[in-house]
Structures are given as structure tokens and as C-alpha cells.
């Protein structure tokens, strides 16, 4: 499913199977989850996508061809392919363990073709074996919603009382991790979104409310997954002195002006950008121990536009997953 021009629906194309180059693998895609970032790519919110482009960066598939020099993963292994497709390895960020900020990165489904397809090519070093993950549909949302959620949680720090603004794919996975870790989850949804609120309750949230409401206690930290800048001052208001607000998205509407006192008392406002391979390895190691069960809605690959539309309209509960 190909994005030929910004803002246009994806178009089904038939192409010859791609051939992996040196250091690359090809996978037969079993499932690819749909992320809000895919909407930002399709809508042109992110600059300079490769065009034409196959979107999709939450890929689960079986390795079915190896490029020159690839020893692992082996043929037949199930792997996950995330957003970070390449990092240069030598810039100051790569050299200091922050390849998520690499000066010359490549991104799956943005600057390289992704997983809204029957087959996808990736660098072997940026694909992750998924041993112990039996269900490719359930594993797919872990590759971005899960990993980026995990990175956001690490940045949030030792927060015992954690607010999650926007209870979609990322938050509903992260809530399960938080409960397993013994944290209290305070879930903020679109006001009146009964389905999201019911899901938050079912996943053990201590408190559930609209994003315009204040929690009953001051929070230690909050993570914003909704791409809504107006939530930033609301979240700052909800965290205690010294608390941290983490913006987990790649794109957000403008943040409205707010009084300095909301930031004062050493509150911190930070953002998360991309992921490191370490984030993926760490998260994929704990995910089976948590026993994460993503709520998924499956669409056939040809219905990618419908899946994007349902994500855009907010009618989706959990994560959308495309299956070729
Ligand atoms: Zn994503
Ligand atoms: Zn780099």
C-alpha cells in the first residue's frame, strides 16, 4: 500500500519482491500495526518523506531472504522491525548511546519503505528476534506503541503515580507495564470517551477521567500520547513540585501560552524522540514477563486506508493491525 503523494489515500501496487542488499534481511510480513505517526507521514506533518512510500513501522514477519554478510537473524526466524531503520554509528549522539538522536538516521515507513506490504527489507542490525511471541498480531503494536511507550516511561522516572494522557495504543500497553511494576495509573481520555475509559478501568487504572479534569491527587509524572499541545499546561498543572511531563509523540499541535508558575517549582517538560536499539531490547525482554495483551483490531492489508481513517477519527479502541 503506497503513499504516492502527501494527503492522498494509499494505493495498492504490485511490485517484484525486493532483494535485500548487503547487511539487510527481507521478511514476509505477518502483521504491521498502524501508528499515529503513520497519519503524520500521510498528512505531511513530518518533512520530506520518501515518495512514493510504503508506510508502516511496527512490522512483525518471518525472515525469508538474507543479504550478503548477514549471519543473524537466520532464515525462518520471526523478527520485529521498528521505526529506527538505521543510525550512523559515528556521530556524537551515536557515540554517546543516544542513537535515537542520530544526525544521519533512517526511519522505517518514512525515509525507507515500511511494512504496509507483503514483504519488507530492513537492516539486520535493526531487526529484533521475537522469540516467545507466538501471535504476530499481538506483537506488532509492541514495536512502536510499546517501545516508544517504554522509552517515555524510562524518561518519566520513578513515578509511583503516573498520568497517561491519551489512552490509545501506547497508553493501553504502558498501563499494563505500570500495573506490573506496581505504579498507580491515572488515565486521561478525550472527555466523554466511554470506550477508552472502560478500557483504562479494565486495565487497572487507579483513576479515569477526561483530559480536562484534575486527578484527585498530585501526580509524580505524566506522559502525553495525544498529539494535543493544549494538554501540556493541563499536565503540568496535574504534576507535583519537581514532577515531570513527557511528550511521547513525534508531532503535536501548538502548545498554548501558559503562566510560568505551572512550570516553576522545578517541574520539567521533556520530549521523547525515536528509540534506541537498547530500548527495543529492554522492552522486548520484559514484555513477555508482563504478559502484555494488546487490544487489537485487525484489517486486511488492502484496507489500510480504512484503518488510518479509523485511527484519525478516534473511533478505534487499542491498536489497528494490518495483516497481508
Ligand atoms: Zn510509531
Ligand atoms: Zn549517528
pLDDT per position as a tens digit, 216-231: 999 999 999 999 999 9
Fold agreement (24-143+275-323, 146-271): no
Q: How far is CA 69 from the centre of its chain?
A: 30
List CB-based neighbours of ion ligand 2 within 5 Å: 87-88, 91, 94, 102
Where are the chain's structural domains?
24-143+275-323, 146-271
Q: For residue 166, give the nearest of 142, 197, 138 by alpha carbon.
A: 197
Ligand with minimal distance to 99 CA: 2
* Cα 179 to middle of ligand 1, angstroms: 23
Ligand with minimal distance to 102 CA: 2
Indicate the pTM of the whole model: 0.95
DSSP state letters, 248-283 = --S--PPPPP--GGGTTTT-EEEE--S--HHHHHHH
Fold of 24-143+275-323: Quinone Oxidoreductase; Chain A, domain 1 (3.90.180)
Structure-block grid coordinates of residue 222:
505524566
Ligand with minimal distance to 92 CA: 2
DSSP state letters, 34-60 = E-HHHHHHHHT-SS---SSB-----EE
pLDDT at 54: 98
Cβ neighbours of residue 196 closer than 8 Å, sequence gap 6 or more: 167, 168, 187, 189, 190, 317
CB 26 within 8 A of CB 123: no
Ligand with minimal distance to 94 CA: 2
Percent of the chain with pLDDT over 90: 97
Quick: pLDDT tens for 285-302.
Answer: 999 999 999 999 999 999
pLDDT at 315: 80
pLDDT at 16: 93
* Cα 99 to middle of ligand 2, angstroms: 6
* Cα 95 to middle of ligand 2, angstroms: 7
Fold of 146-271: Rossmann fold (3.40.50)
pLDDT at 318: 85
* Cα 182 to middle of ligand 2, angstroms: 36
Question: Which residues of the chain are under the pLDDT cut of 50?
Answer: none
Ligand with minimal distance to 46 CA: 1
Amino acid at each position: 500500500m503506497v503513499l504516492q503523494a502527501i494527503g492522498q489515500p494509499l494505493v495498492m501496487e504490485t511490485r517484484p519482491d525486493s532483494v535485500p542488499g548487503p547487511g539487510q534481511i527481507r521478511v514476509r510480513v505477518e502483521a504491521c500495526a498502524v501508528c499515529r505517526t503513520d497519519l503524520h507521514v500521510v498528512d505531511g506533518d513530518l518533512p520530506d518523506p520518501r515518495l512514493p512510500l510504503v508506510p508502516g513501522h511496527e512490522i512483525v514477519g518471518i525472515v525469508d531472504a538474507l543479504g550478503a554478510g548477514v549471519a543473524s537473524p537466520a532464515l525462518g526466524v520471526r523478527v520485529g522491525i521498528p521505526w529506527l531503520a538505521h543510525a550512523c554509528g559515528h556521530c556524537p549522539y551515536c557515540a554517546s548511546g543516544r542513537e535515537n538522536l542520530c544526525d544521519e538516521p533512517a526511519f522505517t515507513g518514512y525515509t525507507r519503505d515500511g511494512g504496509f506490504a507483503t514483504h519488507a527489507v530492513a537492516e539486520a542490525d535493526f531487526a529484533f528476534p521475537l522469540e516467545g511471541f507466538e501471535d504476530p498480531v499481538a506483537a506488532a503494536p509492541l514495536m512502536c506503541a510499546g517501545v516508544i511507550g517504554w522509552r517515555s516511561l524510562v524518561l518519566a522516572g520513578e513515578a509511583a503515580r503516573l498520568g497517561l494522557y491519551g489512552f490509545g495504543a501506547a497508553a493501553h500497553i504502558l498501563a499494563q507495564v505500570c500495573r506490573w511494576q506496581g505504579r498507580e495509573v491515572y488515565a486521561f481520555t478525550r472527555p466523554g470517551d466511554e470506550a477508552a475509559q472502560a478500557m483504562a478501568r479494565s486495565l487497572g487504572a487507579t483513576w479515569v477521567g477526561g483530559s480536562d479534569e484534575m486527578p484527585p491527587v498530585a501526580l509524580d509524572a505524566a506522559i502525553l500520547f495525544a498529539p494535543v499541545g493544549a494538554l501540556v499546561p493541563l499536565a503540568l498543572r496535574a504534576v507535583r513540585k519537581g514532577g515531570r511531563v513527557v511528550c511521547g509523540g513525534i508531532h503535536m499541535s501548538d502548545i498554548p501560552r501558559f503562566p510560568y508558575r505551572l512550570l516553576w517549582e522545578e517541574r520539567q517538560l521533556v520530549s521523547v524522540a525515536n528509540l534506541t536499539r537498547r530500548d527495543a531490547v529492554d522492552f522486548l525482554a520484559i514484555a513477555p514477563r508482563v504478559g502484555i495483551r494488546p487490544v487489537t483490531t485487525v484489517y486486511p492489508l488492502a484496507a489500510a486506508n480504512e484503518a488510518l481513517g479509523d485511527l484519525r477519527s478516534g473511533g478505534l479502541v487499542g491498536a489497528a493491525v494490518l495483516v497481508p
